[in-house]
Amino acid sequence: MTVETHVRMANDSDHGQPGPALAPKPDVRASLPAAAGAASGAIQTRALNVCYGPFRAVKDIDLAIPPNSVTAIIGPSGCGKSTFLRTLNRMHELTPGATVGGSVTLDGVDIYGPEIDPVQLRRVVGMVFQRPNPFPTMSIFENVASGLRLTGRMRRSELGDVVERSLRRAALWDEVKDKLNQNGTSLSGGQQQRLCIARALAVDPEVILMDEPASALDPIATLRIEELIAELRESYTIVIVTHNMQQASRVSDRTAFFTMGEDRAGYLVEVDDTVKIFTNPTEQLTEDYISGRFG
Amino acid sequence: MTAIAGPPRSIAARLTGSTVGRRRTIVDRVMRGLALAAAIICVIPLGAVLAFVIGNGISALNIDLLTKPPKALGLGGGALNAILGSLQMVPLAALLAVPIGVLGAVYVAEFGNRRSARIIRFSADVLVGVPSIIIGIFVFTFLVLPFKQFNAFAGSVALAVIMVPVIMRTTEESLHIVPNSLREASLALGVPVWRTVFSVVIRTGLSGILTGTMLAFARAMGETAPLLFTALGSRLINVGNFAKPMDALPVFIYVNARQPNELLNQQAWGAAFLLLAIVLIINVAVRARSWGRQIG
Amino acid sequence: MSAVPTPTPPLGPRGLLGGSGSRLPDLVFRGGTGVFAWVVVAILGLLLILLVLNSRQVFGQFGLSFVTGTDWDPVAGMYGALPFIIGTVASSLIAILLAAPIGILTAVFLAELASRRVAVPLTFAIELLAAIPSVVYGLWGVFVLGPVLKATVEAWLVGTLGWLPIFAGPPFGIGLFAAGVILTLMILPTVISISRDVISSVPNHQREAMLALGATRWEMITRAVLPFARSGIVGALILGLGRALGETMAVTMVIGNSQRIPQSIFDPSQTIASQIATTFNEAGVGLQTSALIALGLILLVITMTLNVIARLLVWRVAGPVTEAA
């Protein structure tokens, strides 16, 4: 199966050497056309609007997310950060009455195009949620394998390989390797979240969306998640929504600042290299937010 | 297992589907269609029962059915004995059941400590699940057997035993919903506890209590089994004499349905129409408000 | 419940009013309502006691062979309950085998797939199904369902599977199978409404987790939602089964009232409840009545046990649940 092949080849890069088809350098920022044969994972939104019925939640977002990097989205509560994140894997469609205007492309492919099945999209764009949500009726092994089981038959040994690889990538293998058959909820909060990350990694996505992944965790667990994100950026494009500015500054290469307009719709104020955003932002609103001024 | 392919697929290739994906899509659509079909299957019998009861029942409805008792000899007459019987026994049962159910629920919801509340609630739940024919036997053993006389009072008691736990549980739920701040405000004003309960708590939860009571009433109207060994049924008209047997609509239907005679079967359909009309009207009236709220 | 430390009134151990009110009218009120509440417990206790007392005669005479005996012959003074136990179990089994897939699929439809506009009227219709009196189902069953089943489903089954003894004909229309079908209709509302509640209570983050892995709606339902709700759904089925076991009138009217053990599902049969319903009033005071009451006791024990188990299972998933009739 090609998915598994891809995982094997990506795994060969674990020794620190870039694999044969890894993405261009992480500081490329402008919108990227699809490079033939290159697995990149660059996202570009243009004039993106999200409405729930008559109410507009997110307005006119033009945002480029470079591949193999970490992009953080910060901003006050309710300004549409999570809503925006969910448009990237079409999860907002679960809410009845949600509509999207504008375009979102992944390596040049319009993910809202008629030929794109959201089910397929979500294999390529994975998601980790705020509260760890392992499946309580499944063991640790089965949790990680759950995405793989959707696409049908795999021999137990291959499954075992992928599960082990995913757990290693999520920095959880050593802690659970002797208790793979235990229930997924028997782990601590931080471990459960890494389990969810392993579960997402197992289906070999290109992009990983994280919606406040550490906000429900204690500081030590949070630190481990942040370290993990740093490791993962080598192979994946990561978009992380966080209300914790310090976290954004630690973890991300680029940062986008959202806020709520007078019409209660969220919009993008500024996006730039993280260092610049946090030391010398262009917009006054950004400056106000990061220095804690209300207004 | 496929051999190792060339370079990893581009995103475009991964996004535009695979054959495995198509099979899953078909399964998804088919199963969702089956779920819809199951829902429709559930509703068809309702339509069928209504259609036949209305169809056959209306043609059996005539003045005689409503105003005459069954003929003493031969066939014909009406269901007046049953109509009057139901109209007496069920309200009496309600008269017995409502105070016990409501006040009992008040105790559990407002005063009971953990343990007694649990025991009482458990008993009520168990009673709700007891088959109604067993209730009939139960009441028979102490209200019919000792007197060697089938009587309508025992029938009412049997119906009341069926109604009490239902009313108690639904009342208790209605009382739970009443916010504590109301109780506190009333007590803080110096209103005694018993008045707080009546004027504030019960009044606030009243619509829920009424709903539960009406539904229990409708259910009692339709119960047959508990009456078979208590009130027994009778071809005679009985008004007011609870020490003797009395007929009821469900019993009338049962007896006449089993006779090998078409006229009597017709009368059963007519009585069924009456009974169903009463029961459904009560149910629809009681639930219509909450349904309306859910849609609108 | 608020935790505000007010000087008056004292908060009771359970309810706000629990410890309050020490004046006479309040004490009387409290005592009075307490009496009413405990009446319910007394009723249950009395029921059990009276049933046991009145069964003693027949159990004393037959002991366990009352349950295993196959002959019920009042004239000869022989009482064996097995044919009715079999009839009860078989008809209820048919009902639950039919109601489980239909009911669970419908519950899934209502809870996961249907829009509000469709779900509300559909739920309304199913709740009305539950309100139809048993005797009306029986009437319809005898004159409508029976003949229809005889001509269609039963004829087909006998035609294709009649070589199996359990499906042997001739199909009468009335019989064990018809009773099973009527029972299915009667327990569907219970199974559906509890299953639907249980499925709705599955937290959304479970659905999102499965969908985010690239699952179709149906895969999400079968791999994330239903496993989570599993014990609650089993509880709903057990409650439905309990209902079926105790159902009397509709079954009595369509089951054929035969005292013999049925060999095929199309044979006439008899359940415990229908045997009591049809023979209780002719029974003389004495052994036969005691036997019938003992039958009732057996039925009661079975249904009570199932009910308790079912409630525990449902509570585990969906929290305390009351079915209001």
3-state secondary structure labels for all residues of chain A: CHHHHHHHHHHHHHHCCCCCCCCCCCCCCCCCCCCCCCCCCCEEEEEEEEEECCEEEEEEEEEEECCCCEEEEECCCCCCHHHHHHHCCCHHHHCCCEEEEEEEEECCEECCCCCCCHHHHHHHEEEECCCCCCCCCCEHHHHHHHHHHHCCCCCHHHHHHHHHHHHHHCCCHHHHCCCCCCEHHHCCHHHHHHHHHHHHHHCCCCEEEEECCCCCCCHHHHHHHHHHHHHHCCCCEEEEECCCHHHHHHHCCEEEEEEECCCCCEEEEEEEEHHHHHHCCCCHHHHHHHCCCCC
Mean predicted confidence (pLDDT) in C9-27 = 58
Percent over 70 (pLDDT), chain A: 86
pLDDT in tens, C61-99: 888 889 888 888 888 888 889 999 999 999 999 999 999
Percent over 90 (pLDDT), chain C: 54
**Predicted pLDDT at B195:** 85
User: B105 to chain C: which residues are within 8 Å by CB?
Assistant: 37
Contact A39 B17 (CB under 8 A): no
Percent over 90 (pLDDT), chain A: 50
**Predicted pLDDT at C20:** 56
**Predicted pLDDT at A141:** 94
pLDDT in tens, C268-324: 999 999 999 999 988 876 888 899 999 999 999 999 999 888 888 877 776 655 444
pLDDT in tens, A103-134: 999 988 899 988 888 888 999 999 999 999 99
**Predicted pLDDT at C320:** 59
Within 10 Å of residue B269's Cβ, how many Cβ atoms?
25
User: B221 to chain C: which residues are within 8 Å by CB?
Assistant: 133
**Which structure tokens are listed for B10?**
């581009």
Q: Provide the number of CB pairs (under 8 Å) joining chain B to chain C.
A: 321
On average, the pLDDT of chain A sits at 83
Mean predicted confidence (pLDDT) in C188-193 = 94
Q: Which of B1, B11, B18 lies closest to A41 in CB terms?
A: B11
pLDDT in tens, A8-31: 333 433 333 333 433 343 433 333
pLDDT in tens, A209-268: 999 998 888 999 999 999 999 999 889 999 999 988 889 989 999 999 999 988 888 999
**Predicted pLDDT at C112:** 92
Mean predicted confidence (pLDDT) in C4-16 = 42
Q: Which of A120, A126, A135 lies closest to C212 in CB terms?
A: A126
**Predicted pLDDT at A292:** 80
With contact defined as 3+ CB pairs under 8 Å, the chains touching B are A, C
Q: Which of C2, C33, C299 lies closest to B131 in CB terms?
A: C299
Q: Which residue of A has its CA nearest to C203?
A: A133
Per-residue confidence at C22, pLDDT binned at 50, 70, 90? low
Per-residue confidence at A5, pLDDT binned at 50, 70, 90? very low
**Predicted pLDDT at A53:** 85
- Residue C76 CB partners (closer than 8 Å, separation 6+): none
Mean predicted confidence (pLDDT) in C202-217 = 93
Q: Which of C212, C223, C230 lies closest to A122 in CB terms?
A: C212
Contact C208 A91 (CB under 8 A): yes
- Roughly what angle, to the nearest 10 degrees, separates helices A2-11 and A156-169? 40
pLDDT along chain B (296 residues), means of 10: 47 67 85 93 90 91 81 77 93 96 91 84 91 95 91 95 95 89 88 85 88 94 94 88 93 92 90 94 85 61
Mean predicted confidence (pLDDT) in C239-245 = 93
| Chain C residues 300-319 within an 8 A CB cutoff of chain B | 300, 303-304, 307-308, 311
Q: Residue A230's closest CA among A244, A250, A245, A213?
A: A250
Chain A: which residues have CB within 8 Å of chain C? 89, 91, 94, 96, 119-123, 126-127, 129, 131, 133-138, 146-147, 149-150, 196, 199-200, 203
**Predicted pLDDT at C17:** 61
Cα–Cα distance for residue pair C223/C233, rounded to 1 Å: 15
A40 pLDDT more than 80: no
**Predicted pLDDT at B14:** 77
With contact defined as 3+ CB pairs under 8 Å, the chains touching C are A, B
> CA angle, corner A133, sides to A52 and A158, nearest 5?
115
Q: Which of B45, B104, B192 lies closest to C129 in CB terms?
A: B45
**Predicted pLDDT at C233:** 93
Q: What is Dmax (Cα atoms) for chain A? A: 58
| Chain B residues 16-45 within an 8 A CB cutoff of chain A | 16-18, 20-21, 24-25
| Span of A41-45, C26-30, C278-282 with lowest mean pLDDT | C26-30
Q: Structure pTM?
A: 0.85
